[in-house]
Amino acid sequence: MAMSGEIELGVIGGSGLYALPGLANVSRQAVATPWGEPSGEVVLGDFAGKRVAFLARHGEHHSVPPHRVNYRANLWALHQLGVRAVVGVNAVGGIRADLGPRTLVVPDQLIDYTHGRATSYCDAEGAEVRHIDFSEPYTQALRERLLAAARVAGLAIVDGGCYGATQGPRLETRAEIARLRRDGCDLVGMTGMPEAALARELDLAYACLALVANFAAGCGDDAVISIEEIFAHLAAATAQVPVVLDAMLRA
Ligand code: HPA
């Protein structure tokens, strides 16, 4: 069934998710923004009976590292196409003992350890300065839709957790992760910020679907982290993303 009209959801795919399986009748849209080039074309299509816009955060061939993603252009492009709610899918390392590889988590807090990224749209000469409330960095209603959808689909999912956003692209040292743990972080990833804050600046509903790919440095039994294992776990966790989104959009 071909559909057009309002876009129900924007999905930003992270590492391992470069296209949305099940997206049908696709068209591709290159969107120019005042903030430069998005990571790639936005892929518009029908998914679970709704219009969905998909964007690969790192580009479709994973050519854009976390610290070089043009987060402003990505969200601007989705907003410009009429998207009003975005799910960001992010690969993460688990810090908390119960957040092992392949766990799905919908975090409710974050701490930003990134640096040197363009973090705001309040950046143009003479532009209005907006101080957004960011006490709750994610949109609760969208979080709840994700959580409910996973349960309907029969998938285990963890409600809440603090996402520590690091600079990447390297993984962290054990000492860095120990610090994040002391700070209260449950998860660590490289792309959660400034995406969440920029979404808020654009008044987009935004939630993170975090996929645990590995135990963060010093948190698992292994002395070092195997990148091959990360991608194997990530592939398994990523396969659940369309299942959750399908249940969410059909609810
Ligand atoms: N650290 C930061 N980002 C990540 C990790 C990690 O251990 N695993 C997947 N993304």
Interacting residues of 38 by C-beta distance below 8 A, sequence separation 6+: 31, 55, 70, 73, 74, 76, 77
From 105, 113, 172, 222, the mutation candidate for ligand 1 (largest count of ligand atoms within 8 A of CB) is 172
1 inside domain: no
Q: Is 170 helix (H, G, I), strand (E, B) or coil?
A: coil
Domain count of the fold of the chain: 1
Of all protein residues, whose CA lies closest to atom 5 belonging to ligand 1?
A: 93
Could you tell me if the CB of 92 is within 6 A of ligand 1?
yes
Q: Tens of pLDDT along the chain (251 residues)? A: 445 679 999 999 999 999 999 999 999 999 999 999 999 999 999 999 999 999 999 999 999 999 999 999 999 999 999 999 999 999 999 999 999 999 999 999 999 999 999 999 998 788 888 899 999 999 999 999 999 999 999 999 999 999 999 999 999 999 999 999 999 999 999 999 999 999 999 999 999 999 999 999 999 998 899 999 999 999 999 999 999 999 999 99
CATH number at residue 97: 3.40.50.1580
225 inside domain: yes
57 inside domain: yes
Residue ranges making up the domain that contains 167: 9-122+133-250
Note if the pTM is more than 0.75.
Answer: yes
Ligand 1 atom nearest to 214, measured from its CA = 8
Tokens of 58: 């790192």
Could you tell me if the CB of 210 is within 6 A of ligand 1?
no
Ligand 1 centre distance from Cα of residue 237 (Å): 14
219 inside domain: yes
Residue 55 is predicted with a pLDDT of 98
> Which residue in this structure is represented by tokens 């008044």?
203
The DSSP code for 30 is: -
160 inside domain: yes
Long-range interactions of 114-117: CB distance < 8 A, separation 24+: 114/67, 114/165, 114/166, 114/167, 114/190, 114/193, 114/194, 115/167, 116/67, 116/167, 117/67, 117/71, 117/193, 117/194
144, 193, 233, 155: CA torsion to nearest 10: 0
| Pairwise CA distance, residues 130 & 83, whole Å | 21
173 inside domain: yes
66 inside domain: yes
4 inside domain: no
| Pairwise CA distance, residues 33 & 38, whole Å | 8
Could you tell me if the CB of 171 is within 6 A of ligand 1?
yes
